[in-house]
């Protein structure tokens, strides 16, 4: 569902589309080890440059992401991605296609 306003063209998403599938794969399962996580997400609607995704880790993840996330890298389907912590256990990713 999209709400929009005709004067000055404001479009706001008022309902979050569902994700058809998601997969998270760590590079290691060693407790306390440094891991690289690969995320694979299948959206129900096409994504465009500037779209943002918020990935939320479980509360029992015992180290805030702000202390551990050093970089995000684009893999298949993206030309770039930028990430920043969103609260203690969330990560906001901004997508660029091209």
- pLDDT, one tens digit per residue, over 16-46 is 778 888 888 889 888 877 888 888 888 888 8
Q: Encoding tokens for residue 39? A: 């995320």
pLDDT for 9 equals 60
pLDDT for 12 equals 62
- Higher-pLDDT residue of 58 and 12 is 58
Residues 60/12, Cβ–Cβ less than 8 Å: no
Q: What is the pTM of this model?
A: 0.71
Question: Residue 49's pLDDT band (boundaries 50, 70, 90)?
Answer: very high
Residue 90 pLDDT greater than 80, yes or no:
yes
Question: Residue 96's pLDDT band (boundaries 50, 70, 90)?
Answer: very high
């Amino acid at each position: 569902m999209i709400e929009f306003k005709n004067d000055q063209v404001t479009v706001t998403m008022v309902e979050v589309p569902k994700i058809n599938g998601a997969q998270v794969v760590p590079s290691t399962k060693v407790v306390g080890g440094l891991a690289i996580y690969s995320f694979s997400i299948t959206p129900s609607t096409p994504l465009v440059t500037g779209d943002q995704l918020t990935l939320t880790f479980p509360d029992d993840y015992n180290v805030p992401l702000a202390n551990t996330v050093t970089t995000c890298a684009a893999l298949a389907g993206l030309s770039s991605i930028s990430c920043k912590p969103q609260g203690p256990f969330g990560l906001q990713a901004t997508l660029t296609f091209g």
